């Protein structure tokens, strides 16, 4: 377990207020893969009106301040916001500059979870650390209250509280507290203002050799086979992957051919440089978020992913044959660690 009060401070200074498992469907196989145009890079509108309380897509200017007992840090930067997952998720990419001129890149995803009637806020920091919050929108006060539900490695008793205040549709102020056993240890704030349309992201390469192992940006075609009740079922999936600004994370938006209808999903993979592990966040269209951690095995070119939230019983063996070809095996276990079912898949770069 690591100390990460400073661990969240990086997020205050750089990611705020910006900032699953693979879905297997019972298909009869043999259908054609869904065309990539069903995967818009940035839909112009959200999938539901309740998402309009989030930041408006575009370019935002940010000023962030973090205060502890001994110091105050102020950073400036820009945020590029756009819709993803066919309008179900707001994706926010931030570039923050500190007084020394150093730049950090952070990624956030905001969306609504239908199953629990709450908003989700997932933050992927420049160093690869991932944390998650859930929130409630308060219409009368035009604000969103967030509280942490996923802080891996945080000391016992540490939590995070965020209040986002919408001053106008193009202005926000966010207050952030890091709380340790009900005592505020670190307080921060972010002022943000929308200044225009977002700028197209430049073509980006992975920032580190560890990230380069995850593959190549582009359009992918996938086939996944599941044995259920003695019957072999084939799922066909198309997707598009891209590196975020700064090359710190890989985003993949996919669609499963469900008898001619597209079933959408999204995932983000990154490398936690502090812990030396990979992190994998899977976003379901209706809202749930699954978190995995993985270790690289050089001999087999494989990452073994294990589900940690929800905790439990899923393991993915993902082998990277080349930057343009990967295979995987998913295993489901019961509470007694008995294998219940498994599936196998293959993914190849199309273009």
Phi/psi at 238 (5° precision):
-115, 150
With a pLDDT cut of 70, the percent of the chain lying above it is 87
Note the pTM of the prediction, 2 decimals.
0.87
Mean pLDDT, to the nearest integer, of 142-161?
95
Mean pLDDT, to the nearest integer, of 122-142?
97
Instruction: In whole angstroms, give the CA distance from residue 236 to residue 259.
Output: 10
CA terminus-to-terminus distance, the chain: 41
DSSP state at residue 197: S
CA angle 243, 247, 251 (to 5 degrees): 30
The model's pLDDT over 52-108, given as tens digits with 9 standing for 90+, comes to 999 999 999 999 998 877 888 899 999 999 999 989 999 999 999 999 999 999 999
Q: Where are the alpha helices (DSSP H) in 179-324?
A: 209-212
Q: What is the pLDDT of residue 19?
A: 30
Note whether 316 and 328 are within 8 A (CB).
yes
Lowest-pLDDT range, 24-33, 169-178, 238-247? 24-33
Q: What is the pLDDT of residue 42?
A: 67
Q: How confident is the model at residue 23 (pLDDT cuts 50, 70, 90)?
A: very low
Q: What is the pLDDT of residue 33?
A: 44
209-349 matches 5-19+40-196 in CATH topology:
yes
Instruction: In whole angstroms, give the CA distance from residue 318 to residue 315.
Output: 10
Q: What is the pLDDT of residue 257?
A: 78
Residue 313 has pLDDT above 50, yes or no: yes
* CATH fold group of domain 209-349: Lipocalin (2.40.128)
Q: What is the pLDDT of residue 259?
A: 65
For residue 278 the two structure tokens come to 């990979």
Q: What is the pLDDT of residue 31?
A: 40
Q: What is the pLDDT of residue 329?
A: 96
| Mean pLDDT of the chain, nearest integer | 86
Is 5-19+40-196 CATH 2.40.128.20?
A: yes
Bridge partner residues of 27 (DSSP)? none
Note whether 76 and 60 are within 8 A (CB).
no
CA angle 288, 268, 338 (to 5 degrees): 60
Mapped onto helix, strand or coil, the DSSP state of residue 196 is strand
Instruction: In whole angstroms, give the CA distance from residue 311 to residue 30.
Output: 34
For residue 96 the two structure tokens come to 């923050």
So where are the chain's domains? 5-19+40-196, 209-349
């Amino acid at each position: 377990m690591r100390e990460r009060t400073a661990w969240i401070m990086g997020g205050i200074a750089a990611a705020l207020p910006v900032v699953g498992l693979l879905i297997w469907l019972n298909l009869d196989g043999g259908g054609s893969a869904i065309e990539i145009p069903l995967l818009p890079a940035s839909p112009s509108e959200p999938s539901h009106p309740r998402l309009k309380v989030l930041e408006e897509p575009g370019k935002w200017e940010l000023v962030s301040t973090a205060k502890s007992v001994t110091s105050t840090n102020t950073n400036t930067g820009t945020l590029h916001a756009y819709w993803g997952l066919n309008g179900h998720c707001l994706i926010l990419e931030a570039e923050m500059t500190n007084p020394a001129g150093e730049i950090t890149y952070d990624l956030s995803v905001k969306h609504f979870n239908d199953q629990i009637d709450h908003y989700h806020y997932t933050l992927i920091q420049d160093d690869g650390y991932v944390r998650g919050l859930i929130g409630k929108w308060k219409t009368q006060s035009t604000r969103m209250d967030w509280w942490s539900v996923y802080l891996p490695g945080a000391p016992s008793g540490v939590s995070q509280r965020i209040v986002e205040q919408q001053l106008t549709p193009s202005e926000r102020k966010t207050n952030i507290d890091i709380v340790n056993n009900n005592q505020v240890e670190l307080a921060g704030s972010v002022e943000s203002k929308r200044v225009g349309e977002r700028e197209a992201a430049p073509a980006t390469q992975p920032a580190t050799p560890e990230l380069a192992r995850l593959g190549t940006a582009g359009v992918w075609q996938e086939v996944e086979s599941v044995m259920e009740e003695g019957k072999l079922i084939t799922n066909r999936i198309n997707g598009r992957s891209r590196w975020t600004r700064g090359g710190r994370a890989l985003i993949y938006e996919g669609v499963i051919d469900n008898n001619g209808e597209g079933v959408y999903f999204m995932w983000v993979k990154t490398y936690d440089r502090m812990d030396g592990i990979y992190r994998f966040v899977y976003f379901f269209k209706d809202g749930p978020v699954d978190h995995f951690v993985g270790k690289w095995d050089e001999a087999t070119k494989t990452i073994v992913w294990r589900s940690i939230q929800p905790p439990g019983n899923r393991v993915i063996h993902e082998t990277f044959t080349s930057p343009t070809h990967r295979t995987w095996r998913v295993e489901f276990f019961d509470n007694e660690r008995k294998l219940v079912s498994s599936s196998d898949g293959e993914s190849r770069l199309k273009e």
